[in-house]
Amino acid sequence: MAKSKGKYNFKGLDDIFGESVSDIIGVIESDKKKVEDNKTLVDIKSLTANPYQPRKNFEKEELEELASSIKTHGIIQPIIINSKKQIIAGERRTRAAKLAGLKKIPAIVLELSESQMEEFAIIENIQRVDLLDIEEAVAYKKLSDNLKLKQEDIATRVGKSRSHIANIMRLLNLPEKVQDAMLQKKVSMGQAKPLLAIVNNEKLLDSIFKQILEKDLTAREVEQLIKNNNSPKNEIKQNVKSASLVHMENKMMRRLGTKVIIENGKLIIRYSDESDLNRVLDILGLTDED
């Protein structure tokens, strides 16, 4: 390993990136001796963000709390930068250090290629605990499109199953307005995911999506609406069953323990035999006592 002060290089860099670009940060930060041997002080004003950093907003309250800690204890873990003084890891610490009034902060210089810089920024964003499902899907697409990674490669790099990657990326098949609603937290993944079954049925999807926004349907109610209105035996219905009727159907089915259908001015309660009919009538208080 080269021992030049402030510049961290070591054999096997490509091997580490072959597994996961984020692993390299863990390798560096877990070796306290190497951190001490290679850290240097840099002017905080000279630092710039990773140009591929997808995260633009940082919670003000969290930064202020970290700034308060830095004033008391200083920056315990050096940030990691490249020779251009672009931040590879530690932008949050850098922002908090500025709030704390620090002029210089400890850093380790690491040489990364442009593709490695981009990969790390995307993967670091994926690992955020508050990342929305649709944001995660967009991040996976960037890895796929920009770095030409297959789903198996993405799964290896982010430490998740290929099926998880595939399921999340399917959200990108939804119309842009649905994706936007998910980004704005107006629609959850549970509400949006059933719409994938009707992406080729624009009229029905628009109608159900409108009801999701207006009535905050549960995932189960969305699934029921789609089931009721997307039967291959029937043409698309002009009027989608209201959420209140779907809710009432579900409520009655739970109460009666049998299939209930409300449509076209009819209430249909299914039963299997005479004994089952008597059971339902008894629940409804309609048994003949004579």
Indicate which residues carry an active-site annotation. 91
Whether residue 133 contacts residue 141, with contact meaning beta carbons closer than 8 Å, is answered with: no
Separation in Å, CA 111 to CA 24, 32, 68, 87? 12, 19, 31, 11
Write the Ramachandran bin of 107: left for phi over 0, alpha for psi from -120 to 50, otherwise beta. Answer: beta
74, two tokens: 């200083």
Strands 7-8 and 87-89: unpaired
